[in-house]
Amino acid sequence: MSDKQQLTFIDFFAGIGGFRHGLELAGMKCVGFCEKDKFAVKSYRAMYDTEGEWYGADISKLGADDVPQANIWTAGSPCQNVSIAGGRAGLHGDRSGLFFQFVDLLKGKAEADKPEWIILENVKGLLSSNGGWDFLEYLGELAEAGYDCEWQVFNSKDYGVPQNRERVYTIGHLGSRGRREILPISAESSGNLKQVVGGMQGYRVYDPSGVSSTLASEAGGMGAKTGLYLIDQSLTAPKLTEEARCITARYTSGTTKRTAMNSAVLEVGAAYPVLTPDRLEKRQNGRRMKEAGEPMFTLTSQDRHGVMLELQEEDSPSKDHRDPQKHTSEEVRLRNATKQGYQSAHHGDSVDLAYPTSSTRRARVGQGFAHALSCSGAVGVAVWNGKRVRIRRLTPRECFRLQGFSDDLFDKAASVNSDAQLYKQAGNGVTVNVVYSIGRKIADMT
């Protein structure tokens, strides 16, 4: 866009800035945002440089003259009242009804001051709420404000993040400035991954032309517990470096040993940070041990610190139990409302953790992708620890990644908010990758 005027936008119902980050990556500039939740505002201000920008705390208290001019207005308005997971009070519910406040601001603007584009995001349930009449009213309100609208259901897993998150995006163009259609936008990464060699997940070999398997948090052997990929040797060559890779808690370089008795290889299955490991009977307020992968305790001048290593025998890839279909220890069965009565989760599969004892829930297991994130963070992942498959909850960092946010942005949000708020913010957010695709299409047409 070097030869074009940079497009500007205002971020309504901003949350943690999924719209902002996606449109900024597409070359646009944010001139202001509106968000009522004080915790989300803390994350937003920590993640982005908002100095000098316009800010609106409560959309219900704004007038049209309060909002500065911009080329685009975005809004991921509250969806609880039209979601199939909620009570479905409809578009006029107390939360989803804030959409009308947004439209009133559009209607209150003079034609020359209205944004040329609007981008709205909502749950897929908006299309069916109240038998479809709510969506008809939704489009009618936007038409009265002067906008020709088109819409499309986007699934985040088709745009570079392994999350099955279907959302309807409505794109409106100001009718008085002509009609410009940008939809449909085709999926960017919908190819299927071809498995070349089977077996246990870490030893499977894939053709790398498709979508990767879901990444696990562990690093180290067995294809990083995710799988191996064919590489065309004619296109690559070994690269020598002067520095060795760092040894991490799950990476076993330099931390394996061979026993004298049977020459079996023992590898580190996990490493747990421990406080004062030399004083087993020490009375301690708070934890003395953390989970594998968590940071070490704060260093002090008095306490001693250690690491507990969980050693396990490294099995041969040729052993029968590498086939997950032959041993139930390599799967977890979860209650599911199907004829079979359960679903099996293997290493790398996502698991819906909400209402675990319910007999009416379906599709608890996601094979190769995560379920749509919720505000409670009730999404887990099945992980093979060398002996069995266990289920753990996704971390807030992983939830931010599933929404397309980089780790540096997450670290800024985590520095000012609790895990509970971070889970909520990720669940309420919009997927950055999807917004970027829409933003690039608009930028190319403008």
8 forms beta bridges with 29
Longest dimension (CA), the chain: 85
End-to-end CA distance of the chain: 9
Contact 392, 377 (CB under 8 A): no
> Residue 309's closest CA among 271, 265, 274?
271
Tokens, residue 354: 């909400």
Contact 171, 439 (CB under 8 A): no
Residues 142 and 178: their CA atoms lie apart, in Å, by: 16
What are the residues whose beta carbons fall under 8 Å from the beta carbon of 446, sequence distance 6 or more? 4, 7, 71, 116
Tokens, residue 91: 């578009």
149 has catalytic annotation: no
Residue of 79, 149, 246, 375 with catalytic role: 79
DSSP state, 320? G
Task: Return phi, psi of residue 21, to 5°.
Answer: -65, -40
Helix (H) or strand (E) holding 390: strand 389-393
Residues 445 and 440: their CA atoms lie apart, in Å, by: 9
> Residue 162's closest CA among 432, 341, 408, 370?
370
Mind telling me the catalytic residues?
Answer: 79
